[in-house]
Structure 1
Amino acid sequence: MPQRKGRLVNLRPGVLLALLLAAGLLCVLAGVLVGSTGWADLQDEGMSVILWEIRLPRSLGAWWAGALLGMAGAISQGLFRNPLADPYLLGSASGAQLAVAITLAFVGVSAQHASLLADVGLTGIAFVGTLIGVGLTLVLARGVEQTLRLLLAGVVVGVVLNALTGLATLWAPDILRAMQAFLLGNTGLLGWSSVSVMAASGALALIIGLLASPALDALTLGEATAASLGVRMPLVRLLLIFAFALATGAAVAQTGIVAFVGLVAPHLVRAACPTLHGRLILLSAAAGGALLLAADVLARALVRPQELPVGLVTALLGGVYLLVLMHRRGTPKR
């Protein structure tokens, strides 16, 4: 059987899942032991608090955020039958950043407003903004009947909401630094509550994705063929949009906007192990978790004692991977 062009390796789904989970476990261990100040001193009595209350939830939270984005990327690419679709396609990221910008502009970022921001909850506001962005896309697309209309509506909503975010930052330039942390991704504030929220959201989104995976498999043959096989496309689209909007919203609300993870993770899985959508969604979640957590460890280790924004690291790694992939597929055979 001819080797598929662009394939990295050829692994069984179970083997690949075990490798990805093992890589994630190693990255969790590295995330606990490695910080911006160097390796953890396990003989220090005060270090146990740092390890269990700061580094461990941060590492697990980074894994869950990456898993949510990887899962959402696999669902969106299958739903739109487009390998370039990502979790932010329907205006979710634009809605989140606009909601955060408006909140910061009205509340302020000075020390006297810190307690109010804590009470308001920027993570909750970002999550609501994500849902509003997706909701506006659905309204503009007049439902979920047409895939092309959904895509165009998502682009329009994203452009308009990004413009409004720019206006908010021009109106209140003091929020630029706080917005930068959100736009470039930040895992430094993840705690046990963040882990529990993302785990619950991820479990629900995964269940919906797995239940709808046969419909995604049928959709690869075309919408007409899928409909002839008994797939109720409007209901399936609505459920899948809810699933990847929930996963994306939970991740963005906790870590800000992290680039490329949701786009690259499904590509890596397909290159290593082409499979049906049920396994693809699960494997993409494991790949996304390992990718974001590895990027987070690198972000802490590269410029110690400073930390790079994790979104910069994922953007660099993802951009390099896609360039290599494009070069490999574009190189003519001799």
Structure 2
Amino acid sequence: MTRFGFPFLLWALIVGLLATMTFAVMVGSVNITPSLIWEVLFLKLGILSETAASKAQTVIIWEIRLPRVVLAAMVGAALSISGAAIQALVKNSIADPYILGVSSGASVGATSVILLGAFSTFGVYALSLAAFLGAILSVLTVFLLARVNGRTSVIRLLLAGIAVSMVLSAITNFMLMMSKQQGGVQAVMHWMLGSLAGAKWSNLGIPFFTLLLVFLLLFMNYRQLNALLLGEETAATLGINLERFRVFIILFVALLTGVMVAVSGSIGFVGLIIPHIVRMIVGSNYKSVLPVSALIGAIFLVWADIGARLVIAPEEMPIGIITAICGGPVFIWMLRRRRYSFGDGE
């Protein structure tokens, strides 16, 4: 892609994301115009002193719809860049952020809160805290199992991730089977399939700064990510400390994914599909892959959330079902393309 083409693509995606988020805030039982949305936003930011929106419309825009849309964009961006980084780490096109056991660990934590009342002293933050702790403990277990003679083995990382995920999934299923709380079981299943319904401004600070931090760290190390695609020997000859860099990716990707899963539940296929699509558009240079993945991932998940709210309205469908319905066929189509292979942009 030419120098002119890539900046144009970035700006087009930024405009597309803003338009998508604006439309997402408009969707709902109460009709709201785009001008009212931006007036309320500028009012809250102190740019405007008054707005034509009523008090009820202001509450709907600012307190209900906008936090949810912002969370959807952040989760989509986070899962996409995490998936891109993990695929470079293991040099495997079917790897995603959950391969480290993040999702299954978070599910155990969330299930223990919903069904057993664990962490009840933390009130409304109990679910997010338990899910995050479960995710991080799962990743640490996988990481320790993957260490061989002081080094991290990629093959062991994959196998340990699968094994730990299966064990933790069994624990979650056991708690669900033994529980007599029908409402609690339904709540767990809904959480495990992903939901953005609990989005509040007070919950968005940590995910936002975590996303910003990890994105900047990964972007600053895009050359090392590119080198990983060339193989271990080539990366080593370029002066990259492979062991240290692997630990760096594992820890920060686990941190980012764990934070996002804690606030949104387990949303599949985003971290798997989006990096594939991005490499087909801009190639395999991570200087381009990371920002484009973040923007396309954000747009995709905002649209997925719109679908989750509309498909069975007034009820809400778990967003993970929407991403699976969209992502599965796309992934199969990409696998069937003869010219597509991991690491190239064709």
* CA distance in 2 between partners of 1:107 and 1:307 (Å): 25
* CA distance in 1 between partners of 2:69 and 2:124 (Å): 25
Q: Does structure 1 residue 12 correspond to structure 2 residue 5?
A: yes
Q: Does structure 1 residue 92 correspond to structure 2 residue 102?
A: yes
Q: Secondary structure, in 3 states, of the residue corresponding to 2:100?
A: coil
The residue that corresponds to 1:136 in the other structure is 141
After superposing the two structures, state which structure 1 stretch, 187-196 or 255-264, moved more.
187-196
Q: Does structure 1 residue 152 correspond to structure 2 residue 152?
A: no
Please point out which of 54, 62, 67 is paired with 1:52: 62
Q: Does structure 1 residue 172 correspond to structure 2 residue 179?
A: yes
Aligned-pair identity (%)? 34
How far does the alpha carbon of each residue in 1:240-296 deviate from its partner, in whole angstroms, 9 at most, with x for none? 111211111111011000111111111111111114113212211111111101111
* CA distance in 2 between partners of 1:74 and 1:158 (Å): 20
* CA distance in 2 between partners of 1:117 and 1:182 (Å): 19
Amino acid at match of 1:165: T
Deviation at 1:70, TM superposition (A): 0.6
Q: Secondary structure, in 3 states, of the residue corresponding to 2:338?
A: helix
* CA distance in 1 between partners of 2:93 and 2:106 (Å): 24
1:101-120 aligned at under 5 Å gives the runs 101-107=111-117, 118-119=123-124
Q: Does structure 1 residue 224 correspond to structure 2 residue 233?
A: yes
Q: Does structure 1 residue 199 correspond to structure 2 residue 208?
A: yes
Deviation at 1:171, TM superposition (A): 2.0
Matched residues, number: 317
Q: Is the 8 A contact 1:138 1:144 kept in 2?
A: no
* CA distance in 1 between partners of 2:226 and 2:339 (Å): 27
How far does the alpha carbon of each residue in 1:269-325 deviate from its partner, in whole angstroms, 9 at most, with x for none? 111111411321221111111110111112112222222111111111101211222
Amino acid at match of 2:15: A
Deviation at 1:161, TM superposition (A): 0.7
| RMSD of Structure 2 on Structure 1 (CA) | 2.3
Amino acid at match of 1:106: L
Q: Is the 8 A contact 1:208 1:239 kept in 2?
A: no
1:287-326 aligned at under 5 Å gives the runs 287-326=296-335
Q: Does structure 1 residue 33 correspond to structure 2 residue 26?
A: yes
Amino acid at match of 2:173: G
* CA distance in 2 between partners of 1:302 and 1:153 (Å): 38
Deviation at 1:149, TM superposition (A): 1.1
Q: Does structure 1 residue 78 correspond to structure 2 residue 82?
A: no
How far does the alpha carbon of each residue in 1:62-118 deviate from its partner, in whole angstroms, 9 at most, with x for none? 10011110110111011111111101001011100011112223218xxxx9x7573
User: When the two structures are superposed, what TM-score results if normalisation uses the length of structure 1?
Assistant: 0.89
Deviation at 1:120, TM superposition (A): 5.0
* CA distance in 2 between partners of 1:206 and 1:144 (Å): 25
Structure 1 gap segments, 5+ residues each: 1-10
The residue that corresponds to 1:5 in the other structure is none
Q: Secondary structure, in 3 states, of the residue corresponding to 2:194?
A: coil
Q: Does structure 1 residue 187 correspond to structure 2 residue 196?
A: yes
* CA distance in 2 between partners of 1:144 and 1:200 (Å): 30
Q: Secondary structure, in 3 states, of the residue corresponding to 1:39?
A: coil
Structure 2 gap segments, 5+ residues each: 37-52, 341-346
1:256-267 aligned at under 5 Å gives the runs 256-267=265-276
Q: Secondary structure, in 3 states, of the residue corresponding to 2:220?
A: helix
* CA distance in 1 between partners of 2:209 and 2:151 (Å): 26
User: When the two structures are superposed, what TM-score results if normalisation uses the length of structure 2?
Assistant: 0.86
- By relative contact order (CA 8 Å, sep 6+), the higher-ranking structure is 1
Q: Is the 8 A contact 1:38 1:304 kept in 2?
A: no
Q: Is the 8 A contact 1:65 1:251 kept in 2?
A: yes
1:239-258 aligned at under 5 Å gives the runs 239-258=248-267
After superposing the two structures, state which structure 1 stretch, 130-139 or 211-220, moved more.
211-220
The residue that corresponds to 2:79 in the other structure is 69
Deviation at 1:14, TM superposition (A): 2.2
Deviation at 1:45, TM superposition (A): 3.5
* CA distance in 1 between partners of 2:179 and 2:76 (Å): 31
Q: Secondary structure, in 3 states, of the residue corresponding to 2:221?
A: helix
